[in-house]
Amino acid sequence: MPNRNAHACRRQWRNFILLAMSVLVAVVAVVSTPAFATEDRIGRFEYYQITGRNNLLQVARLNGLGYVELLAANPGVDPWIPEKGRILVLPKAHLLPDAARQGIVINLAEMRLYFFRNESEPVLNFPIGIGRMGRETPVGVTQVKAKRKDPTWIPPASIRAERPYLPDQIPPGPRNPLGNYALDLAWPGYVIHGTNQPYGIGRRVSSGCIRLYPEDIEILFRLVSIGTTVTIVYQPVKLGWSDGELYMEVHPTATQADELEARGWFTAAAILSLDDQVRNAAGAALSRVAWDIVYDTARKRRGVPVRITR
């Protein structure tokens, strides 16, 4: 009996290893060290095995990820009752957005915030919640105008028109949608803040403001100074170099992200400028570009860096 149990344990462990390897191959997983502002790629892939009753909203929160990015990286997984024993890809590797590497950079397409301190310190990044359809978070360049700890929320006229039952103001506490920290932007009415609804992170559900998990905004609030530049872009396709190889990372569009959240899959959409973007990024290494991998990555839009040079 002990030998039989030992064989069973070894067989289960072997199956686990084989499954993990298949996931690695499927997503072209790349392991990298924490990057500094001079690198194009940061972070590394991690994996999570479903062992209890956690749904993907809970898994995302436990691992510091956004909900939609976890869905995109794990197509076909039931978000509410994921199969026990299933191994999930945790998309913690990223290419930096194409923007000046200073201050705060937000890429709405991937629903992620990057904070560049200086070239001697690693780039910090956090998942975010952004504006929903009709209340989209704007793109452009602004700056942090003020910092507020334990902020009072005064509902703007646009929100009061939708919810006239709201009080004139909501003081600090568990009912305050700003959470415990707020960074007011120079754009009137727009704030980077915490939240009392953490399951909205990684989703398009706000009225235009940028939300962070409570634990993330606390870190950002402590490090950011008034006057810090805030650059907001919308880049579903990112390209960057690492160790002499070119990588591409493609995210769902805003419409596809909404579809993915609502029904678990999204309608395919062509990327009209894809070839030009790849050619410009590849430069002299264009002959090494694997176009079949480029098109496959663009079609799947899993939001993970994939090596596209051979």
| Chain centroid offset of residue 106 CA | 10
Are 72 and 106 a contacting pair, CB within 8 Å? no
With a CB cutoff of 8 Å and minimum separation 6, the contacts of 167 are 155
What is the Cα–Cα distance from 289 to 11, expressed in whole angstroms?
40
Structure tokens at 129: 């919640």
Are 129 and 60 in contact by the 8 Å Cβ rule? The answer is no
What amino acid is encoded at 143 in this protein?
Answer: Q
Measured CA to CA in angstroms, residue 307 lies from 107, 235, 286, 297, 304 at distances of 21, 18, 13, 10, 10
Q: Catalytic residue at 9?
A: no
> Catalytic pick from 7, 9, 193, 251?
193
Spacing of C-alpha 260 from chain mean position: 14
Measure the CA–CA gap between 72 and 94, rounded to whole angstroms: 14
DSSP 168: S
Strand partners, 184: 146, 191
Report which of 50, 51, 55 is spatially closest to residue 87, judged by C-alpha positions: 50
Contacts of 220 (CB under 8 A, 6+ apart): 113, 115, 124, 126, 181, 183, 192, 212
Q: Which of 207, 192, 153 is nearest to 176 (CA)?
A: 153
209 is catalytic: yes
The DSSP bridge partners found for residue 24 are none
Compute the distance between CA of residue 282 and CA of residue 9 in angstroms, rounded to an integer. 47
Choose, from 7, 9, 94, 209, the residue flagged as catalytic: 209
Catalytic residues, which ones?
Answer: 193, 209
